Amino acid sequence: GLHGRLHGPSWNPDAIGATLPLKHSAGLGPARCIQLGSGYWSQNSAVTVLALPSERSAPLELQLRWPGGRVRLIQIPDDVAEYDVSLN
């Protein structure tokens, strides 16, 4: 899959609340939501992994929706397996 990290503004450096659907050659995958945790004393990783449906599917575009509604489309080159994206 494609893995990486988001960098938000100073008041939300881990981009909590952002959603990341990945568009690939087979279609649009499920959206991953960046969250702090889902239960008592839980904590999610700041690094996300976006799965591809098969080895033959190539990632094409990351459709990043920041908290607050701002949308950014990021083209994924063929040889990239990691992303590191800032809000700025």
Q: Name which residue leads in pLDDT, 87 or 21.
A: 21
pLDDT computed for residue 79 by the predictor: 79
Asked if the model's pLDDT at residue 56 lies above 80, the reply is no
Beta-carbon contacts of residue 49 (< 8 Å; ≥ 6 apart): 1, 2, 3
Tens of pLDDT, residue by residue over 22-43, are 888 878 888 888 888 778 888 7
pLDDT computed for residue 88 by the predictor: 64
pLDDT computed for residue 8 by the predictor: 86
